[in-house]
């Protein structure tokens, strides 16, 4: 009887966690089967990456809650995830969520130091999704919570880990893109990973084409997906005034606000473009 009671108590602890994990896995797999429409609950680039496949390891830089790592972990294996998130509360959540991943409480930049990251207060709420090392101000921002964090360079991290490859990098660093690239030059030249990077004009005092050019000078070609037309478009066609109209962001018309860019090294470009365009043609027939 005592053993039975102990066993029941153990099940009460274990089963809820198992059920939650199962539900998350089921929901993730269902979402990955959905066509790319405005009802998709995450960036359409995730569907593209899941379909065409990515090489490991994956670096999730600026992970926040880890949506990209969560949606792509079955593609490459959780042990091949290298997740970077400097905010302490998000870092702890990620450690609980990804038991077998490599997780670092660290921001990546062009130097090794301690810096202050700001979490903006917008309309009375703090938005950790918009936390930044830069000085831009968000619309309706009334203040910011400041936290001192550790900062390193991607080149330093990769050297310390003694990695012999990087397959894919997802970058979301809220205006700190150029500094990150400056600290990653050796890594990008050596491993030539596929890059998905969020870049927004509103975060910068200079044209974001300067960031495009920096990556192009490292042997990369840029593309972006227009989810409304389901087309992969060369970055030379991007127009900030048209494609990053702030009114579309404020009205949450996300399909009209394009801020995710693929950069693929020229050695892999033809294969990448062919795979993505084939997938998007299939998607057009589904919607």
27 found inside a domain: no
Count of structural domains within the chain: 1
17 found inside a domain: no
Q: What's 280's domain CATH number?
A: 3.40.50.150
pLDDT at site 256: 86
Let me know: does 118 contact 110? Beta carbons within 8 Å.
no
- Give the N- to C-terminal CA distance of the chain in Å, as an integer: 58
Range of the structural domain that residue 175 is part of: 40-286
Let me know: does 148 contact 110? Beta carbons within 8 Å.
no
What confidence tens digit (pLDDT) does each residue in 134-147 have?
A: 989 888 899 999 99
* Stretch 86-96: mean pLDDT: 98
What confidence tens digit (pLDDT) does each residue in 211-250 have?
A: 999 999 999 999 999 998 999 999 999 999 999 998 887 7
Query: How far apart are alpha carbons 244 and 238 in whole angstroms?
Result: 9
Let me know: does 277 contact 232? Beta carbons within 8 Å.
yes
2 found inside a domain: no
Can you give the C-alpha Rg of the chain in angstroms? 20
Cβ-based neighbours of 253, under 8 Å, separated by 6 or more: none
24 found inside a domain: no
25 found inside a domain: no
What confidence tens digit (pLDDT) does each residue in 21-41 have?
A: 444 545 555 555 566 666 666
């Amino acid at each position: 009887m005592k053993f039975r009671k102990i066993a029941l108590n153990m099940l009460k602890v274990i089963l809820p966690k198992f059920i939650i994990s199962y539900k998350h896995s089921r929901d993730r797999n269902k979402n990955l089967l959905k066509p790319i429409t405005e009802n998709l609950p995450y960036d359409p680039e995730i569907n593209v990456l899941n379909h065409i496949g990515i090489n490991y390891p994956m670096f999730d830089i600026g992970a926040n809650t880890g949506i990209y790592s969560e949606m792509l972990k079955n593609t490459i294996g959780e042990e091949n995830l290298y997740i970077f998130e400097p905010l302490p509360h998000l870092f702890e959540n990620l450690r609980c969520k990804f038991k077998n991943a490599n997780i670092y409480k660290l921001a990546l930049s062009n130097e090794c130091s301690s810096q202050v990251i700001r979490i903006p207060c917008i309309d009375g709420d703090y938005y950790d999704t918009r936390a930044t090392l830069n000085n831009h101000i968000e619309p309706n921002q009334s203040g910011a919570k400041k936290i001192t964090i550790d900062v390193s360079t991607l080149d330093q991290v990769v050297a310390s880990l003694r990695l012999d490859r990087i397959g894919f990098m997802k970058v979301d660093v809220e205006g700190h893109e150029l500094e990150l690239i400056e600290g990653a030059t050796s890594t990008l030249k050596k491993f030539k990973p596929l890059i998905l990077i969020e870049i927004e004009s509103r975060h910068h005092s200079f044209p974001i084409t300067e960031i495009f050019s920096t990556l192009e000078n490292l042997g990369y070609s840029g593309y972006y997906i227009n989810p409304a037309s389901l087309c992969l478009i060369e970055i030379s066609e991007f127009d900030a005034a048209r494609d990053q109209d702030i009114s579309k962001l404020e009205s949450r018309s996300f399909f009209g606000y394009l801020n995710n860019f693929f950069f693929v090294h020229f050695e892999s470009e033809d294969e990448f473009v062919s795979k993505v365009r084939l997938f998007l043609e299939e998607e057009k027939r589904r919607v």
